[in-house]
Amino acid sequence: MALIVQKYGGTSVGTPERIKAVADRVKRFVDRGDQVVVVVSAMSGETNRLVALSQAVSSNPHPREMDVLLSTGEQVTIALLALALQEQSLDARSYLGSQVKILTDDAHAKARIKAIDGESILSDLNAGKVAVVAGFQGVDVNGNITTLGRGGSDTTAVAVAAALNADECQIYTDVDGVYTTDPRVVDCARRLEQITFEEMLEMASLGSKVLQIRAVEFAGKYQVPLRVLSSFEEGPGTLISIDDNKDMEAPLVSGIAFNRDEARVVVRGVPDTPGVAYKILGPVSDANVEVDVIVQNVAADGTTDLTFTVHRNELDKAQVITEDIAKQLNAREVAVDGSICKVSLVGVGMRSHAGIASQMFKTLADVGINIELITTSEIKISVVIEEKYMELAVRALHTAFGLDDTGVVESSDNG
Amino acid sequence: MALIVQKYGGTSVGTPERIKAVADRVKRFVDRGDQVVVVVSAMSGETNRLVALSQAVSSNPHPREMDVLLSTGEQVTIALLALALQEQSLDARSYLGSQVKILTDDAHAKARIKAIDGESILSDLNAGKVAVVAGFQGVDVNGNITTLGRGGSDTTAVAVAAALNADECQIYTDVDGVYTTDPRVVDCARRLEQITFEEMLEMASLGSKVLQIRAVEFAGKYQVPLRVLSSFEEGPGTLISIDDNKDMEAPLVSGIAFNRDEARVVVRGVPDTPGVAYKILGPVSDANVEVDVIVQNVAADGTTDLTFTVHRNELDKAQVITEDIAKQLNAREVAVDGSICKVSLVGVGMRSHAGIASQMFKTLADVGINIELITTSEIKISVVIEEKYMELAVRALHTAFGLDDTGVVESSDNG
């Protein structure tokens, strides 16, 4: 018997039939003796429908009223799921964010959770009930409805799990786990049985969009074991947990992430004076252009080169700003490239193993790929290369680091 | 400058365009200096959509969860109307029932209001804001969402108006006021400028379905002046208020109500013993058949006749029950008639004027209509006649009591 928090996203509750299927699954857990809290999103399509309504009456919707509007999406789902559970003869009760209550700050549309009162839910669980909680929403200290931002239901689930000291937080989605890389790019990508919070953060932020980054951070901070599973088929999914198994056999690399939509800006021949990186990147950031990789080489001849990458959609904006500053700084030139990509190895094993970087560079060289930029952190190595080589790079690295699915089932992942 | 509560039903807020039109109207009131609270229903069609969803997952939906589900309808509307008002540069703020707060008992789906805290709304109004309140919903003492039952938004509006001591509660609907009778039956039916709460109750319960009876009762109890107006055209509508004008010129009859779907059951030759009416009508009522008119004549030869009317859809049920009891009571026979109707004169003027009843009976006799049953109360006289004579009776009475629209505008109504 365990206390389990399950989260189902919009697709998993997108129709009455799917809601009934969720109720079936919850019943199986209850029947084997588990206590279950279910966190749900709005039915798929509902949030877009509500946003369209708001746009039909307002050119600049006020965030407080948008939160009142959008929070109805999850409210509909909790009522329907509670009804479907009751139809299964389970004792179920729905909870709005304000009823739990999930106290947040007052930053409408992007509120942060400050505290969760789990008492009422725990007393329901102990009375044999299933608690159904609206994801994505909370309430501020003045009783205003707030939302955690799109995708925030994952965060709700993890936060509720932490508050209840749950044994596991299960995130049901449309994939059956976290893979060594995107199976659409590498046929023999393998589902990971286990991965650490840190690895998951690097995988997620680099483009493997299975879980919201914030939810993973939250789970790591409160050490809530997190499991990603499919809501459409049975299977163990991938467990995301702390790195408590210092197994020497842990693989060096857990997965390969990549990001296709990058663009590169190089400012060449900038006089190498203190604060030059800030002088260039400050205005870019002020214009709300998000900068990803930043590389500055050591100066030669009193000048240096600064390179950074941005999302491809924002390249034009970044270029205009950068050329303006480059002129002021007497830089030699600004060069841009809108057809690059980033490929990263991720693995906690890298912490204690040398030689991974050079093995990565050799693998790419062997297939004739030129590396344009390199950045490293404790548990990842990223390279920027020409976009056309992306699939080739990912596949070569996947094989070189032993990630290919060999058909042999083994628990070979970290943790 | 006045404090006005306005209520808009589902049709009046059925599309984004109509919501914008409501915002336009509210702005006109604010611009002339009024303080405005707006109470809204769910957009038309929304409640049916939500009910259909619930039926797709549950054969016997639990009322608590139905209230969670259905209350989202009004929540969507308050957010959209607040946004539309803000688009008009008005400072607006939406209120859920729980935020007001509108405290109710815990009778889900048919909750009754126990108390309303108007403080937060008043402080918003004094700060120049428009308050937008979700109709139909409240919250019980444990924080559960409750609903007042279908059509309950009228009740919310009146209750909020009473709590705020509003100058007027305006109910916007798809008709432009209360008429002397149904304009579809009598071409020259006239809009009443004013009518008393009691008259409105008799008109409403007799089939002129403009306002929820409960809302009128509530308004009468707390003496909230109520105005029915069209949300689609300009006009003064009909003011429903207390009978504080003891004008001798007040007309005898304010309107003529009628009810087509009646059926009659007569139990003939019942031994005239104490409790006989209860013995017959108790089981009918126990079977949830609503009885309308009840007439018992004085006994002759130790037996009496008891007649009552029910809704036509329930005639078969009532007949089976009555025949069974008639046998037990040794009554002579049970006769039913499924093609009758009821026509009623309503008017507070009747209280102090004799002769109205006989004028009514003469009018009907003059056009050859036979009266089957007669019942009277202080402010109404109802007759049951054959259904085929209904339109004829209503038109003849409308003319005889001076209600026809003569094209002359005059303030000739009670009040």
Q: Which residues of A touch B23 (CB under 8 A)?
A: 57
What are the residues of chain B with a beta carbon less than 8 Å away from any beta carbon of chain A? 16-17, 19-20, 23, 50, 53-54, 56-62, 64-66, 68-69, 71-72, 75-76, 78-84, 86-87, 92-94, 96, 98-99, 143-145
Q: Which residues of A touch B145 (CB under 8 A)?
A: 96
CA of A68 vs chain B CAs: smallest distance (Å): 6
Reported ipTM: 0.79
Residue of chain A whose Cα is closest to the Cα of B87: A58
pLDDT one-digit tens code per residue, A204-245? 765 556 777 788 888 998 999 999 999 888 899 999 998 765
User: Would the CA dihedral through A2, A7, A12, A16 be positive or negative?
Assistant: positive
Question: With the CA atoms of A70, A73, A74 and A76 taken in that order, what torsion angle do they form, in degrees rounded to the nearest 10?
Answer: 140
Do A410 and A192 form a contact (C-beta atoms < 8 A)?
A: no
Q: For A57, which of B20, B56, B64 is closest by C-beta distance?
A: B20
Higher pLDDT, B201 or A325: A325
Q: For B94, which of A59, A65, A82 is closest by C-beta distance?
A: A65
pLDDT at A105 over 50: yes
Question: Are B66 and A79 a contacting pair at CB < 8 A?
Answer: yes
Q: For A59, which of B19, B87, B93 is closest by C-beta distance?
A: B87
Backbone angles phi, psi at A68, to 5 degrees: -60, -40
Tell me the C-alpha distance between A345 and A184, whole Å: 18
pLDDT one-digit tens code per residue, B13-37? 999 999 999 999 999 999 999 999 9
Q: Which of B127, B125, B117 is nearest to B97 (CA)?
A: B117
Residues 6+ apart with CB under 8 A from A17: B56
Mutate to test the interface with B, among A83, A140, A144 (most CBs of B within 10 A): A83
pLDDT at B208 over 70: no
- Helix, strand, coil shares of chain B as percentages rounded to 5? 35, 25, 35
Residue B185 pLDDT class (50, 70, 90 cuts):
confident
Higher pLDDT, A272 or B163: B163
Give the number of A-B residue pairs with CB atoms closer than 8 Å. Answer: 116
Do B50 and B75 form a contact (C-beta atoms < 8 A)?
A: no
3-class DSSP state for residue A397? helix
Question: Are B65 and A86 a contacting pair at CB < 8 A?
Answer: yes
The answer to whether the pTM exceeds 0.90 is no
3-class DSSP state for residue A253? coil
Element (H, E) at B202: helix B197-205
Q: Are strands B194-196 and B238-241 parallel, antiparallel or unpaired?
A: parallel
Share the mean pLDDT of chain A: 89
Question: Are A64 and B98 a contacting pair at CB < 8 A?
Answer: no
Domains and CATH numbers, chain B: 3-173 (3.40.1160.10), 255-400 (3.30.2130.10)
DSSP 8-state class, residue B179: B
Rg for chain B, CA atoms, rounded: 24
Q: Are strands A194-196 and A238-241 parallel, antiparallel or unpaired?
A: parallel
Q: For A69, which of B80, B86, B144 is closest by C-beta distance?
A: B80
Q: For B83, which of A16, A61, A83 is closest by C-beta distance?
A: A61
Q: Which residues of A touch B80 (CB under 8 A)?
A: 53-54, 57, 69
* Per-position DSSP letters for B70-136, written without gaps between them: HHHHHHHHHHHHHHHHHHTT--EEEE-HHHHTEEE-S-TTS--EEEE--HHHHHHHHTTPEEEEESS
pLDDT one-digit tens code per residue, B103-132? 999 999 999 999 999 999 999 999 999 999
pLDDT at B414 over 50: no
Do B250 and B348 form a contact (C-beta atoms < 8 A)?
A: yes
Q: Which of A163, A169, A347 is nearest to A243 (CA)?
A: A347
3-class DSSP state for residue A191? strand
Chain center to CA of A151 = 9
Residue of chain A whose Cα is closest to the Cα of B13: A57
Q: Could you tell me the CA-to-CA distances from A147 to A74, A138, A276, B40 in Å, in that order?
A: 11, 6, 39, 23
Tell me the C-alpha distance between A314 and A336, whole Å: 12
Question: Are A76 and B78 a contacting pair at CB < 8 A?
Answer: no
Q: For A62, which of B69, B78, B83 is closest by C-beta distance?
A: B83
Residue A411 pLDDT class (50, 70, 90 cuts):
very low
Helix axes B153-164, B213-222, angle to 10 degrees: 10
3-class DSSP state for residue B335? strand
